[in-house]
């Protein structure tokens, strides 16, 4: 008995000592749904049934370095139920202090347009998508980054990012590390947040990605601009987003509204992108390479029809960490391709409708 008490006291002493230097936390979510996939099979059918498509676990350890400085390591992985291997997620290290924060590591970047959705509309393809490129706005990408976030200046926060794409831009896992695609990007961004208002803007410059058949950098000079904003009026929260790229890449748009009614949040999201004309830069070989890169980064091909998605959803919150969500999303011409030369449809729409009923627990 005495040995047990002594052992417990020793463990408690070690735990207390360690806690003075570092704090570890575990967070995440698990969601289980009855749903229909929006992907249209060749025979026009869909996959329906029960599935766990929302599962993420994150572990973070924070250490106080003194002088207002801290270091945080954060890693995560996905949980998708039986029959699916555990996939890696974010893995970052952050040094933060009075001079700002420096974050390095691997991230799943979904972009500011995804961030202004209502939050009450969910779907396997619509929400945090990484593999179905035919959705109207850009899918999430897996990137390696270095991010500097400056100290807040009044109501504005500035940031600068340098990043690279790995061998699989939208694939959840890849064992081929390093900048296998040759694609690099640099982002300058600013966020204004004051009271019910939020506005954000960023500019991205792409580079690299040498063509195997041509001695030139196909992405040099390709620029992306993104603008987003939200306004919380109390009775409803509104969101808007817009993205444009150079070299003829189709523009993208998003609008949302979320209405809270006691424990229920009702949301409507609309997202769209223009028809994709010919992505041009110079010679025929350059244009072919640019079209390939446009599809790699955004799922856009020359001749893609204008597409849109309209989603409605409602979330009932049992508590701050447990909710039940019902969503329905309809896609219009998502993935449909029309020959720029003949005007004939070369590929039918890939997505049409998805719906789900999901129970979600966060922790």
List pLDDT tens digits, range 292-308: 777 777 778 888 999 99
Check whether 220 has a pLDDT greater than 90: no
**Position 11 confidence tier, pLDDT thresholds 50, 70, 90:** very low
List, in sequence order, the alpha helices (H) in the chain. 2-19, 112-115, 284-298
In order of their start, the domains of the chain are 24-362 (2.40.160.10)
pLDDT of residue 127: 76
Check whether 7 has a pLDDT greater than 90: no
% residues pLDDT > 70 (the chain): 82
CB 276 within 8 A of CB 252: no
CB 276 within 8 A of CB 303: yes
pLDDT of residue 217: 57
**Position 341 confidence tier, pLDDT thresholds 50, 70, 90:** confident
Cα–Cα distance for residue pair 294/308, rounded to 1 Å = 19
Check whether 257 has a pLDDT greater than 60: yes
Q: H or E segment at 322?
A: strand 322-334
By CB atoms closer than 10 A (0-12, 13-18, 19+), residue 342 is exposed
pLDDT of residue 280: 67
Q: If you average pLDDT over residues 17-34, what whole number do you get?
A: 78
Name which of 2-16, 116-130, 248-262, 319-333 the model is least confident about. Answer: 2-16
% residues pLDDT > 90 (the chain): 58
Check whether 314 has a pLDDT greater than 50: yes
pLDDT of residue 207: 81
pLDDT of residue 302: 84
Q: If you average pLDDT over residues 340-357, what whole number do you get?
A: 91
Contacts of 144 (CB under 8 A, 6+ apart): 105, 106, 107, 163, 164, 166, 179
**Residue 251 CB neighbours (<10 A):** 12
Name which of 61-70, 117-126, 293-302, 314-323 the model is least confident about. Answer: 293-302
pLDDT of residue 2: 41
Check whether 266 has a pLDDT greater than 60: yes
pLDDT digits (tens, 9 = 90+) for 73-105: 999 988 877 766 666 678 999 999 999 999 999
CB 351 within 8 A of CB 134: yes
Check whether 9 has a pLDDT greater than 70: no
Cα–Cα distance for residue pair 352/328, rounded to 1 Å = 11
Q: What is the pTM of this model?
A: 0.85
pLDDT of residue 8: 36
- Between the CA of residue 3 and those of 6, 9, 12, 238, what are the distances in Å? 5, 10, 14, 62
CB 354 within 8 A of CB 35: yes
Cα–Cα distance for residue pair 206/103, rounded to 1 Å = 20
Check whether 275 has a pLDDT greater than 80: yes
pLDDT of residue 5: 37
Q: What residues are paired with 241 via a beta bridge?
A: 228, 254
**Position 107 confidence tier, pLDDT thresholds 50, 70, 90:** confident
Check whether 51 has a pLDDT greater than 80: yes
| Mean pLDDT for all residues in the chain | 85
Q: If you average pLDDT over residues 16-26, what whole number do you get?
A: 64
Q: If you average pLDDT over residues 191-196, what whole number do you get?
A: 97
pLDDT digits (tens, 9 = 90+) for 125-175: 887 676 778 899 988 888 899 999 999 999 999 999 999 876 554 454 555
In degrees, rounded to 5, the angle at the alpha carbon of residue 356 between the alpha carbons of residues 350 and 357 is: 175
């Amino acid at each position: 008995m005495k040995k047990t008490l002594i052992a417990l006291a020793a463990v408690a002493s070690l735990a207390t000592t360690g806690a003075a230097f570092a704090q570890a936390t575990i967070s995440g979510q698990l969601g289980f749904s009855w749903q229909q996939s929006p992907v249209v099979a060749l025979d026009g059918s869909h996959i329906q049934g029960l599935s766990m498509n929302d599962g993420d676990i994150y572990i973070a350890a924070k250490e106080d370095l003194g002088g207002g400085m801290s270091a945080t390591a954060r890693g995560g992985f996905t949980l998708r139920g039986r029959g699916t291997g555990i996939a890696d997620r974010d893995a970052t290290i952050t040094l933060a202090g009075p001079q700002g924060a420096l974050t390095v590591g691997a991230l799943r970047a979904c972009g500011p347009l995804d961030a202004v959705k209502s939050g009450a509309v969910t779907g396997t393809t619509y929400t945090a998508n990484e593999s179905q490129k035919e959705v109207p706005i850009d899918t999430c990408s897996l990137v390696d980054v270095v991010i500097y976030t400056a100290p807040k200046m009044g109501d504005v926060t500035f940031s600068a990012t340098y990043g690279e794409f790995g061998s699989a831009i939208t694939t959840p896992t890849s064992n081929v590390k390093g900048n296998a695609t040759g694609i690099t990007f640099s982002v300058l961004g600013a966020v204004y947040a004051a009271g019910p208002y939020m506005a954000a803007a960023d500019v991205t410059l792409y580079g690299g990605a040498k063509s195997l058949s041509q001695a030139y950098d196909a992405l040099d000079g390709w620029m992306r601009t993104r603008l987003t904003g939200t306004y919380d009026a109390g009775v409803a929260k509104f969101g808007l987003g817009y993205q444009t790229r150079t070299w003829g890449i189709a523009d993208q748009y998003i609008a949302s509204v979320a209405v809270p009614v006691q424990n229920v949040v009702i949301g409507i999201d609309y997202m769209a992108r223009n028809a994709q004309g010919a992505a041009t830069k110079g010679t025929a070989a350059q244009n072919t390479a640019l079209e390939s890169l446009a599809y790699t980064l955004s799922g856009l091909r020359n001749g893609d029809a204008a597409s849109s998605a309209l989603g409605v959803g409602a979330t009932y919150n049992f508590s701050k960490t447990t909710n039940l969500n019902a969503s329905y999303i309809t896609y219009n011409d998502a993935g449909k391709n029309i020959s720029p030369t003949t005007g004939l449809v070369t590929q039918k729409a890939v997505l049409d409708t998805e719906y789900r009923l999901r129970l979600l627990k966060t922790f």
